[in-house]
Amino acid sequence: MLQQIKAYGVLVKFKLNITVVLSAVLSYLTLATTIEPHKVVLLALGGFLVTSAANAINQLIEQDLDALMNRTNQRPLVTGALTEVQAAIVAGISAVLGTVLLFFINFECGFMGALAVFLYTVVYTPLKRTTPFAVFVGAFPGALPTLLGGVAAAGTLQTIAPWILFSIQFIWQFPHFWAIAWKSSDDYERAGFYLLPSGKRDKFTARQILVYSLALIPMVMLPYAFNISGIYSAIFMVLSSIAFAFLAYDFYASLDDKKASVLMFSSFFYLPLIQIAMWLDKI
């Protein structure tokens, strides 16, 4: 029983989902003028479920390719811990229930939840085997949790604050994901995924990582400029972004795998830290 629960956790990427929920909830808490607990619950549960659906569908589509990669060959559909029917049931229930819960917040949130599942599974997943441009497509559903939280707070897409938070997370994904792809390039090539900007580990790819890392520095100034957060979080975010860009430059200058690992692991901490900083500065 415990092993099957763990298998379902791997199917929906439980740990990753927690970071998605955190991103959406922190965005809501940062932008909401009045905290409504029921919206936080709906946002967390709905966001978790639609992300679970997208991850489960992705593994259904890519199970043959997952078997070729060291990082994914222990996923439950590959090992037989779960059947395709079990995965499809989880995906279907999660997609429908998650979208319905988000619609209870407002129409925009429900629409974005459904859009995220569609973009990730129908567009991004098959595109990964044809062009590195897939990373740009995947960055949209990847950043939607922040927009989701912002729209849950603002009640509309027609205000700039949610889009600013979305833009920061959108830009962050490129150095984050390309650092991962650099480290896992052999695995990805075995499965026919060419996700680095040039299709290989070279100076051009490292330069793109550096460019997007540098772009985060002016981006994180926008929340202060538009009165989303205060001066203390602005200082923290700028300094954090400079440090992150320095790590990207260090990697660019050397093309060293160890420095790619440092950049990759630092990216895991960078985003939640600046999101927490904006929220704490507000309270």
Q: Residue 190: which CATH number? A: 1.20.120
The 8-class DSSP code of residue 193 comes to: -
Are residues 266 and 178 both part of a single domain?
A: yes
What pLDDT is recorded for position 233?
A: 96
Provide the whole-model pTM.
0.94
pLDDT at residue 194 is higher than 90: no
What pLDDT is recorded for position 106?
A: 96
> Which of 131, 149, 178 lies at the terminal end of a domain, its last residue?
131
What pLDDT is recorded for position 113?
A: 96
CATH number, residue 49: 1.10.357.140
Confidence of residue 255 (pLDDT cuts 50, 70, 90): very high
What pLDDT is recorded for position 173?
A: 96
Helix, strand, coil in percent for the chain, rounding step 5: 80, 0, 20
What pLDDT is recorded for position 198?
A: 79
Are residues 68 and 189 both part of a single domain?
A: no
């490292």: which residue's tokens? 206
Which pLDDT tens digit goes with each residue over 269-283?
999 999 999 999 987
Are residues 213 and 280 both part of a single domain?
A: yes
Q: Are 195 and 128 in contact (CB under 8 A)?
A: yes
Are residues 178 and 61 both part of a single domain?
A: no
Are residues 21 and 119 both part of a single domain?
A: yes
Residue 176 in any domain: the answer is yes
> Which of 81, 115, 131 lies at the terminal end of a domain, its last residue?
131
Are residues 118 and 175 both part of a single domain?
A: no
Residue 166 in any domain: the answer is yes
Residue 84 in any domain: the answer is yes
Q: Are 277 and 233 in contact (CB under 8 A)?
A: yes
Mean of pLDDT over the chain: 95
Q: Which of 43, 21, 169, 17 is nearest to 110 (CA)?
A: 43
Which pLDDT tens digit goes with each residue over 52-68?
999 999 999 999 999 99
Range of the domain at 52: 1-131
Residue 281 in any domain: the answer is yes
Residue 166 tokens read as 């979305």
Are residues 207 and 275 both part of a single domain?
A: yes
- Cα–Cα distance measured from residue 131 to residue 200, given in angstroms and rounded to the nearest whole number: 12
pLDDT at residue 2 is higher than 90: no
Residue 2 in any domain: the answer is yes
What is the torsional sign of CA 184, 185, 187, 191? positive
What pLDDT is recorded for position 159?
A: 94
pLDDT at residue 1 is higher than 80: no
Are residues 236 and 127 both part of a single domain?
A: no
How would you class 186 by CB atoms within 10 Å of its CB: exposed for 0-12, middle for 13-18, buried for 19 or more? exposed
pLDDT at residue 79 is higher than 80: yes
What pLDDT is recorded for position 149?
A: 97
Q: What percent of the chain has pLDDT over 90?
A: 88
- Cα–Cα distance measured from residue 220 to residue 164, given in angstroms and rounded to the nearest whole number: 9
Confidence of residue 3 (pLDDT cuts 50, 70, 90): confident
